[in-house]
A and B are shown apart, each in its own frame.
Chain A
């Protein structure tokens, strides 16, 4: 069945970088857009970024634009989020979530990973 597994979280100092990964299985990864969504402690869900099925289109939330880069390797069924110049407000659980498929025939946010915790602290 469809599965998304995030990794790469941890404790990082302010100003440093971190790269998150999301490994997909159980579906044709290269046919689907994929999102990153985060949830800070005690806060709600915040959309972070999306990448198209072929990696040609990428969109970001204003809160991370210029500091984060979303990318994917369809040969390895893996999504990435490179986060630079990290701030305390980036502390959150980061989820990857499946987007719609190449023909738009399936809903976005139908499958989610378990999340990986990023803590930005000195």
Chain B
């Protein structure tokens, strides 16, 4: 049950687009379309932003999108806004019927 691999930090200016990668294995990301992305502002409750690789829950801005290729999933945030500054975690179902999170990525809006 090794954590999925995410970059520790990414940054971008308002209005720009950024991507956050999430690399797993053939036992998790590569085999299942159950990849989610969560946004976590410190001190607050994590918020589901993307599920099943590409789907957005009701109420989540369409500036957030997800994709997957092989063992790597990607979160894209377009039109970056100040309120997007947060920690982002990917998450995947695994072949052991367990779940695994990525190590988290701190997004800084410059």
Contacts and interface: CB of A to CB of B under 8 A. Distances in A.
Interface of A: 35, 37, 44-47, 50, 57, 59-63, 95, 97, 107-110, 112-115
Contact of B1 (A61, A108, A110, A115): A61
A107 B96 contact: no
Contacts of A46: 3, 101
Interface of B: 1, 3, 34, 36, 38, 40, 45-46, 48, 51-52, 55, 57, 87, 89, 91, 96-104
Identify the interface centre among A46, A59, A107: most chain B CB within 10 Å of its CB.
A107
Contacts, number: 62
B57 A110 contact: yes
Given A44-B89, A45-B89, A95-B46, A108 B34 contact: yes
Contacts of B97: 57, 59
A97 B55 CA distance: 19
B101 A44 contact: yes
Given A95-B45, A107-B48, A107-B51, A45 B99 contact: no
Contacts of B45: 95, 112-115
22 contacts: A44-B3, A44-B87, A44-B89, A44-B101, A44-B102, A44-B103, A46-B3, A47-B91, A47-B98, A47-B99, A47-B100, A50-B99, A59-B97, A61-B98, A62-B1, A97-B46, A108-B99, A109-B38, A109-B48, A109-B91, A110-B51, A113-B45
Given A95-B45, A109-B46, A115-B45, A45 B1 contact: no
A107 B55 contact: yes
Contact of B40 (A45, A50, A57, A62): A45
Given A37-B101, A112-B45, 9 more contacts: A44-B89, A47-B100, A50-B99, A59-B97, A59-B98, A108-B34, A110-B48, A114-B45, A115-B45
Contacts of B91: 45, 47, 109
B101 A108 contact: no
